[in-house]
């Protein structure tokens, strides 16, 4: 079964850091680009970041550029999101999602999603 399982969410103080993980199973992880998408309380979905299958190309939304770092360990079928300088605006459920090709292809549709991990930034 194709599956994505996020972890690493929690409560963090403003200015703090958190590292999210997403373990993939059921498909050849390194053959597909991956993405992080978030949903703040009461808000819609927001694309956060994307990475190519090899990990050599990374992309970020303006709202997180310079603060978040996406990476992947293909030997462990795991996607990461390092989040630094967190603010209350980063409070959200964070989803990892699989793109349909190995190059950054979130715009072709993301066909597998995890159930999300919750990040709360509060003092």
How far is CA 97 from each of CA 35, 39, 87, 120, rounded to the nearest angstrom? 5, 13, 23, 20
Judged by CB under 8 A, does residue 101 bind other proteins? no
Give the Cα separation of 1 and 14 in Å (integer).
38
Judged by CB under 8 A, does residue 102 bind other proteins? no
Report CA torsion sign: 8, 67, 54, 99: positive
Judged by CB under 8 A, does residue 116 bind other proteins? yes
Q: Smallest gap, in angstroms, from Cβ of residue 16 to other proteins?
A: 26
Judged by CB under 8 A, does residue 15 bind other proteins? no
Stretch that binds other proteins, among 23-31, 68-76, 83-91, 92-100 (CB under 8 A): 92-100
Q: Smallest gap, in angstroms, from Cβ of residue 97 to other proteins?
A: 8
Would you say 84 and 67 are in contact if contact means Cβ atoms under 8 Å apart?
A: yes
Report CA torsion sign: 80, 93, 36, 16: negative
Counting residues that bind other proteins (by CB under 8 A) gives 27
Strand partners, 5: 23
Q: Which residues bind other proteins (CB under 8 A)?
A: 4, 35, 37, 43-47, 50, 59, 61-62, 95, 97, 100, 104, 106-116
């Amino acid at each position: 079964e194709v599956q994505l399982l996020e972890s690493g969410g929690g409560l963090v103080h403003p200015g703090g850091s958190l590292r999210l993980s997403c373990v993939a199973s059921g498909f050849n992880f390194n053959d597909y680009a991956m993405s992080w998408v978030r949903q703040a309380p009461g808000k819609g979905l927001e694309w956060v970041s994307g990475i190519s299958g090899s990990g050599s190309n990374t992309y970020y939304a303006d709202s997180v550029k310079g603060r978040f770092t996406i990476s992947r360990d293909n030997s462990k079928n795991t996607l990461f999101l390092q989040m630094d300088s967190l603010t209350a605006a980063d409070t959200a459920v964070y989803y990892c999602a699989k793109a349909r090709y190995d190059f950054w292809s979130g715009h072709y549709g993301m066909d597998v999603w995890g159930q999300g991990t919750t990040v709360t930034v509060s003092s």
